[in-house]
Amino acid sequence: MGNEEERSAPTVSRRSFVLRAVIGVFTSLGALVMAVPFLRVVFNAAPLRKAEWAEAANISILPEGQPKDVKFEAHSVDAYLRQMKLRSVWVIKHSPEIFSVFSPICPHLGCYYKWDPSTQHFECPCHGSVFTITGKVIGGPAPRPLDTLPYKVQGGKLFVKWERFQVGIPQKVRV
Ligand code: FES
């Protein structure tokens, strides 16, 4: 009887050691996974927001040579969250293949600007920035031209990649 107890003692101890090691490994992995978003913020890693192509409009309905406010739904992937959001962009069709696509956000402090057909300018109601049809600043405090967005034409449709940029600075920097 005493001999059996002596023989079984090391087995229990080995099992408990393996169990503790397995728990330790899983705990460390869990902590690592939870720390990734925090580490990204701390070390200012690449943005977690990913731009995706979204179908914005049928190109046959877009007028040629005049800005059109185009609204469409696009997926937004922010960190681990994927959502459908309504977006809007200013589109100018120069030809069936050539477009200008502008973000609707004023590069000064982020207000939504409008196209004024009477002046043929984009005008921001917040602090009076004025832009030409090509996006160039001709008045007000905007520090850079209107931000263009990537686009492609496929099967008679215009696809746009929705992106946001930092406001208030002369450079176009994605956020
Ligand atoms: S936000 Fe447009 S001019 Fe200030």
CA distance 75 to 84: 4
pLDDT more than 90, % of the chain: 64
Report the residue among 109, 121, 130, 166 best suited for mutation to probe ligand 1: largest number of ligand atoms under 8 A from its CB.
109
Output the six-digit token pair for 25: 């490994």
Closest CA to 38 of 48, 51, 28, 23: 48
Residues contacting residue 61 through CB under 8 Å, at least 6 positions apart: none
Which pLDDT value is given to residue 45? Answer: 47
Least confident of 39-53, 55-69, 81-95: 39-53
164, 50 contact by CB (below 8 A): no
Pairing between strand 114-116 and 121-123?
antiparallel
Which ligand 1 atom is nearest residue 127's CA? 3
For atom 3 of ligand 1, the residue with the nearest CA is 127
Report the residue among 123, 127, 144, 147 best suited for mutation to probe ligand 1: largest number of ligand atoms under 8 A from its CB.
127
Which pLDDT value is given to residue 38? Answer: 45
The b/e string for 130-169 (b: 16+ C-beta within 10 A; e otherwise) is bbebebebeebebebbbbbbebeeeeeebbbbbbebebee
Residue 103 pLDDT grade (very low, low, confident, very high; cuts 50, 70, 90): very high
Ligand 1 centroid distance, CA of 122 (Å): 11
Which pLDDT value is given to residue 81? Answer: 75
What are the start-end ranges of the E strands in 79-156? Answer: 81-93, 99-102, 114-116, 121-123, 130-131, 137-139, 151-154
Which pLDDT value is given to residue 77? Answer: 72
For atom 4 of ligand 1, the residue with the nearest CA is 127
Most confidently predicted of 10-14, 77-81, 87-91: 87-91
Burial class of residue 119 in the structure, from the number of CB atoms within 10 Å of its CB (0-12 exposed, 13-18 middle, 19+ buried): exposed
Mean pLDDT for the stretch of residues 130-134: 98
Which pLDDT value is given to residue 172? Answer: 98
Q: Is 73 helix (H, G, I), strand (E, B) or coil?
A: strand
Ligand 1 centroid distance, CA of 94 (Å): 27
pLDDT digits (tens, 9 = 90+) for 56-83: 999 999 999 999 999 999 987 766 677 8
pLDDT > 50? residue 39: no
Q: 0.85 exceeded by the pTM?
A: no
Which ligand 1 atom is nearest residue 128's CA? 3
